Amino acid sequence: MADIFDVVIIGAGASGLMCAAQAGKRKKKVLVLDHGDAPGRKILMSGGGRSNFTNKQVRADHYICSNPHFCKSAISRYTSQDFVNLVDSYGIPHQERGHGQLFCEGSASQILDMLLTECCRAEVKIKMNTPVKKIEKLPSKMNSNNPVQFRIYTDSGEIDTASLVIATGGVSIPGVGATPFGYQVAAQFDIPVVPPRPGLVPFTLQPADKTILQPLAGISVDARVSSPLAVFSEKLLFTHRGLSGPVILQVSSYWQPGQTITIDLLPFNNLVDTLKDKQGSHPKKQLKSILYALLPKRLVNIRLEGFPADRPIISLSNSHFSQVASAFHEWQIKPGGTEGNRTAEVTVGGVDCNQISSKTMEARKVSGLFFIGELLDVTGWLGGYNLQWAWSSGFCSGLYV
Ligand SMILES: Cc1cc2nc3c(=O)[nH]c(=O)nc-3n(C[C@H](O)[C@H](O)[C@H](O)COP(=O)(O)OP(=O)(O)OC[C@H]3O[C@@H](n4cnc5c(N)ncnc54)[C@H](O)[C@@H]3O)c2cc1C
């Protein structure tokens, strides 16, 4: 005989726990299933262990989605302030960092503990170490006098439920339990998936660039980086493997293999003007010395390769100035690729939102089946937007399951 629940949620992560707590508060009998041995493992990793749990400014244009309007409803019905109010009600101290990002002052575990307490108060049952073997949609004739719509098969038995929520997240960091399970469920019900790819991920370099740039590992500078679909200004970090730092992670979510990125190493400077000024005020100064005052020496030396770096600035022409400016303002690099799911913070793409109700997160063509969180084709920028999407989509679905 199968256990019967009103709601079964597969995935005890950010969105699944939020959905469970809301559904439980509505007196639904809720079960959360997860194949891992501990809930919320990505919450614990988030924000370097301090969880950048939301952002003060959350708008639809902070998200990448093939339907740019899709997330508007959920993020306006459960806002970042709503989540901050919840965090405050638990007395969890937090702080604002740049760009409106809100972090715990203590530890990300406080956010997870808060969600688990919310679930406990709402009498949600959480069952870990329980992989799902099969999901079956029960024949509609059985449904006429019976709310049960799905049967879930696990090693420890069968579970029947009226509503089934898939909250298994994206595929980045398989080491903490990420799987493509949610995409397989979508395929089972003929719901299309926008091809998933790693997002918020460092770039690797082509072998020739790697040889040249490896000595820069550890250097971090302010930069503006553009790709054909996006421009961001933040810190750029050179690493042993390639390029990282917030500006690269942001651009990576928009990048397609083969595309070239353009790096402006002096986004707050007009180098032609600076060089002309110095020509008047310090005519004997070497070109390289002027640039050493603006950027790390090792980086300047690499970008000045082939230029008369040792010559006094007075001996250089306007044409030299514009070529040097281009080397620093318009440095073009074609990344070799990305570090992939091993280090990506999110998955871009996912279950096609055009098949999902933006109000309830229910699949349009399968009554009782819901998809939430990162599993959907909704990817936030770096800065707390992905967790906010998990909270908003989890909360809204919790009102309708
Ligand atoms: C290192 C790192 C740092 C991050 N930092 C931040 C940050 O500071 N701010 C921010 O906004 N976002 C951050 N993110 C992104 C954020 O953590 C995710 O977007 C968010 O957790 C997604 O929530 P979710 O509920 O969709 O999925 P998840 O939180 O990933 O939860 C999915 C759950 O499903 C379970 N599961 C998977 N497959 C199966 C299966 N086959 N059967 C049963 N259960 C399954 C998993 O075990 C997991 O518990 C970070 C991500 C990473 C990897």
The predicted-structure confidence for 301-334, as pLDDT tens digits, reads as follows 999 999 999 999 999 999 999 999 999 999 999 9
Mutation test residue for ligand 1: of 99, 166, 387, the one with most atoms within 8 Å of CB: 387
Average pLDDT for residues 207-236, to the nearest whole number? 97
Q: Which atom of ligand 1 is nearest to the CA of 55?
A: 11
Amino acid 141: pLDDT: 56
Answer yes or no: is the C-beta of 249 below 6 A from any ligand 1 atom: no
Q: Hey, what CATH topology would domain 271-332 get?
A: Helicase, Ruva Protein; domain 3 (1.10.8)
Strands (E), 56-204: 63-64, 94-96, 101-104, 125-127, 132-137, 150-154, 157-166, 193-199, 203-204
pLDDT, one tens digit per residue, over 127-180 is 999 999 999 999 865 555 668 999 999 999 999 999 999 999 999 999 999 999
- DSSP assignment of 40-81: -HHHHHGGGGT-EEEES---GGGEE-SSTTTTHHHHHHS-HH
**CATH 3.50.50.60 assigned to 3-196+346-398:** yes
Count other Cβ atoms within 10 Å, centred on residue 252. Answer: 29
**Ligand 1 lined by 51 (C-beta under 6 Å):** yes
How many CB atoms neighbour CB 122 within 10 A?
Answer: 18
36 Cα nearest atom in ligand 1? 47
Helix (H, G, I), strand (E, B) or coil at 244: strand
Ligand 1 center from residue 36 Cα (angstroms): 12
User: What is the reported pLDDT for 142?
Assistant: 53
State the distance from the centre of ligand 1 to the C-alpha of 347, rounded, in angstroms: 10
Q: Where do the domains of the chain lie?
A: 3-196+346-398, 271-332
| Ligand 1 site-directed mutation target among 154, 386, 393, most atoms within 8 Å of CB | 386
* Share above pLDDT 70 across residues of the chain, in percent, rounded to a whole number: 98
Question: Best mutation site among 65, 168, 385 for ligand 1, i.e. most ligand atoms within 8 A of its Cβ?
Answer: 168
- Look up the pTM and report it: 0.96
Domains 3-196+346-398 and 271-332 fall in the same CATH topology? no
> Ligand 1: distance of its center to the CA of 342 in Å?
14
Burial zone of 91 (CB within 10 Å; 0-12 exposed, 13-18 middle, 19+ buried): exposed
374 lines ligand 1 (CB under 6 A): yes
